[in-house]
A and B are shown apart, each in its own frame.
Chain A
Amino acid sequence: MLCNICTKNPATVHLTEIIDGQMSELHICEECARKKSQDMEQQFGLSDLLAGMADFDKPKDDSSAGAVLVKCPSCQLTYADFKKIGRLGCGECYNTFRKYLGPLLKRIHGSTQHTGKTLLKAGRPSRKKADVQELRNRLNRAIESEAFEEAAKIRDQIKELEKRESEKNQ
């Protein structure tokens, strides 16, 4: 049997496709199969899965429309790029897209709090920054769930931390 696509080489790969409920069989050669599998990968790869999840977790506020335009200052990757390729551009991207990645990580891992080993050399400044960020995340969650009393407390904590930071820097 000759390949259904190129009609030149012998068909060695046998494929069953179901499109809109219609089943069709395809008998193709190795070369065409490779091309076809690349097409399929492009149609539905891991990046699509991740991107789909990223979409699903879009924050409900108005800023989400602009999400795809956010660009990492360090490596220039945009959120649209991430949605397309399913990979981030550098470590800094995690800060840049923090708002969108938090819910995504939660969906993938069921958690957003690392409890494993910590980096020996992790500098103190990043720790402080992360503390404020973590509080901001908690604040957003509290507001979303309309726990305003809790939100007010967290807001005060953030103010306190930021005040201490700026005093230190002066």
Chain B
Amino acid sequence: MDLKDLLNHTSEWLKGSGPNADIVISSRIRLARNLSQAPFPHWAAKKQGEESLNKAKEGLSKVDYLKKSTFFELAGMDSIDKQFLVERHLMSLDHAQKTNSKAVVVDEEEIVSIMINEEDHIRTQVMQSGFNLHEAWNIINKIDEAISKELNFAFMPDWGYLTACPTNAGTGMRGSVMLHLPALVMSRAIDRVLAAIAKLSFTTRGLYGEGTQAMGNFFQISNQISLGPSEEEIIDSINGLIRQIIEQENQARDTLFSKNNPLLEDRINRSLGILKSARIITSQETIELLSMVRLGCDLGMVKGINQSHINELFIITQPAHLQKIEGKKLSSQERDVKRAQIIRDKLSIK
């Protein structure tokens, strides 16, 4: 498998299937692990970093679950290719920026990806479409157990898995759920919801994780506490919180909809109109408008548009994807033209 194959393929988590797929885009779990007896990536000398990379590579190559996965070494990789992997949520922005002795392992369906030498030696993530953290946990737990048989991890009975940053110690687990909350944003109830989330020791981030802005009404919610409760308990607590947010979003949608609000219908249809006819469009505007059309589909106001096409558009209209599709480097203005063209094509397919 190479990057071209990924381009012609829709990631499993984008399929718009799974529980509560109208509000929950995807569920993700990551586990942070470190090799015992090796300095953490940020503190390792060049040679030590290479040693850890080789050790991890060798260990992972013996894991049956990863037999159909591809190993990408980041040193020397084209910057568009790296950005492409970030846009597909297969690795972090941070991982793409400092690339010494770093790699990422990606499975065929893009359910599993493993970053080597990011903040920790090994960061495994599993993504699922819709609201499905339990399934993500079942998968990642098996993979983690298989990896543990090949590699020695830094671990203490009382403090669990040891991580470069003490905020990840213990389970080393972060569960995240990506939500689309347009009605809570429109009814201005979102600030209240976000404040409540923060009080409960959860964090909210934007589309691309740490340090990114909430765009297009998308919010990524994850646990902050990783030491103390067990993995299942952490997942249960996230699930409890997400269920409440889904209910609030549904109520807000009912209210907006029941008012038979011509403003809402107008906004949704104008958004669709612009997407279907624009000749130049920025990434930011695309995300905002697609968010409205997605809501229109959920509410039955927009018909004849495939939900998975909309999900896919969020990803393939990103800068590196446009350049991979075009097969060459594009300036910002050229991208805006290409983006508009791709959106028109996708939305005209019934």
Contact = CB atoms under 8 A, between A and B. Distances in A.
A150 to B, nearest CB: 19
A31 to B, nearest CB: 16
Contacts of B226: 109
Most buried by B among A90, A113, A121: A90
B230 interface: yes
Q: Which secondary structure dominates chain A's binding surface?
A: loop
Contact of B153 (A46, A86, A119): A119
Give the interface residue-count category, chain B.
35 or more
A131 B160 CA distance: 13
B165 A114 contact: no
Contact of B231 (A50, A116, A120): A116
Interface stretch (A14-22, A61-69, A122-130, A161-169): A122-130
A68 B265 CA distance: 62
B228 A109 contact: yes
Interface of B: 34, 36-40, 42-43, 119, 141, 144-145, 148-149, 152-162, 164-167, 169-171, 173, 201, 225-231, 233
Contact of A113 (B158, B161, B201): B158
A97 to B, nearest CB: 10
14 contacts: A86-B165, A88-B162, A110-B225, A111-B225, A111-B229, A112-B227, A115-B229, A115-B233, A116-B170, A116-B171, A127-B157, A133-B158, A134-B157, A134-B158
Contacts of A130: 156-158
Give the interface residue-count category, chain A.
35 or more
A94 B40 CA distance: 12
Contacts of B155: 91, 118-119, 122, 126
Nearest to A89: B43
Nearest to A53: B166
A5 interface: no
B39 A90 contact: yes
Contact of A91 (B34, B144, B201, B233): B34
Contact of B39 (A50, A89, A95, A127): A89
